[in-house]
Structure 1
Amino acid sequence: MATTDLNLLFALDVLLAERSVTAAAKRLGLSPSATSRTLARLRSATGDPLLVQAGRLLAPTPYAEQLASRVHALAQEAQAVLTPVAGHIDPALLERTFTIRANEGFVALFAPALVVGIIEAAPGVRLRFAPKPNKDATPLRDGAIDLEIGTTAPSAPEVRRQLVFRDRFVGAVRLHHPLLAETMTPQLYAACGHVVASRRGIWKGPVDDALAELGLRREVVAIVPSFLDALNIARRSDLIALVPRSCIRGEDMVAQGLQAFDLPVPTPELAISAMWHPRLDADPGHRWLRQKLVAICQAA
Structure 2
Amino acid sequence: MTDPDFNLLAALDVLLSEKSVAGAAKRLKLSASAMSRTLTRLRQVTGDPLLVRAGRNMVLTPHAESLQARAKNVVSEMRAVLNASPAPLSLSTLEKRFTLRTNEGFIDAFGPALVNAAAREAPGVTLEFVAKPEKDARFLREGRVDLEIGVLKNMGPEIRLQALFRDRFVVALAKNHPLAAFADMSREQFVSVGHVITSRRGLIRGPVDDALAACGMRRRIAAVVPGFSAALAVARDSQLIAVVPASCLQSAAGKEMVAFPLPVSTPEITVSQMWHPRHEHELAHRWLRQLVRRVCRQP
TM range (shorter): 0.7 to 0.9
Distance 1:95 1:47 in 2: 49
Specify the alignment match of 2:233 in structure 1: 232
Distance 2:150 2:124 in 1: 26
- 1:92–1:123 Cα contact (<8 Å) kept: no
Distance 1:113 1:14 in 2: 57
Specify the alignment match of 2:243 in structure 1: 242
- 2:199–2:225 Cα contact (<8 Å) kept: yes
Would you say how many aligned residue pairs link Structure 1 and Structure 2?
295
Specify whether residues 153 and 44 from structure 1 end up closer, same or farther in structure 2 by C-alpha distance, changes over 3 A only.
same
Distance 2:201 2:17 in 1: 66
Deviations 1:192-219 (A, max 9, x none): 1111222222232211111111111111
Pick which of 119-128 and 168-177 moved more.
Answer: 119-128
Specify the alignment match of 2:272 in structure 1: 273
Distance 1:52 1:198 in 2: 81
Instruction: List gaps (5 residues or longer) in structure 1.
Output: none
Instruction: List gaps (5 residues or longer) in structure 2.
Output: none
Distance 2:61 2:199 in 1: 72
Deviations 1:76-104 (A, max 9, x none): 45445555x85x76331766443221111
State the SS of the aligned residue for 2:129.
strand
Specify the alignment match of 2:297 in structure 1: 298
Structure 1 residues 37-186: aligned runs within 5 Å: 37-52=37-52, 58-59=59-60, 61-62=62-63, 65=66, 68-69=69-70, 71-72=71-72, 74-79=74-79, 82-83=82-83, 90-92=88-90, 96-118=96-118, 120-122=120-122, 125-153=125-153, 155-182=155-182, 183-186=184-187
- Alpha-carbon offset, residue 231 of structure 1: 0.9
Specify the alignment match of 1:197 in structure 2: 198
Specify whether residues 43 and 203 from structure 1 end up closer, same or farther in structure 2 by C-alpha distance, changes over 3 A only.
same
Distance 2:13 2:282 in 1: 29
- Alpha-carbon offset, residue 260 of structure 1: 1.5
Specify whether residues 116 and 38 from structure 1 end up closer, same or farther in structure 2 by C-alpha distance, changes over 3 A only.
farther
Deviations 1:125-175 (A, max 9, x none): 543322212112211122212221110226435422110111111111111
- 1:98–1:126 Cα contact (<8 Å) kept: yes
Specify whether residues 104 and 41 from structure 1 end up closer, same or farther in structure 2 by C-alpha distance, changes over 3 A only.
same
Distance 2:286 2:193 in 1: 46
Pick which of 26-35 and 209-218 moved more.
Answer: 26-35
- 2:198–2:224 Cα contact (<8 Å) kept: yes
**TM-score of the superposition, structure 1-length normalised?**
0.82
Q: Give % identity.
A: 50
Give 1:186's aligned amino acid. R
State the SS of the aligned residue for 2:90.
helix
**TM-score of the superposition, structure 2-length normalised?**
0.82
Specify whether residues 57 and 49 from structure 1 end up closer, same or farther in structure 2 by C-alpha distance, changes over 3 A only.
closer
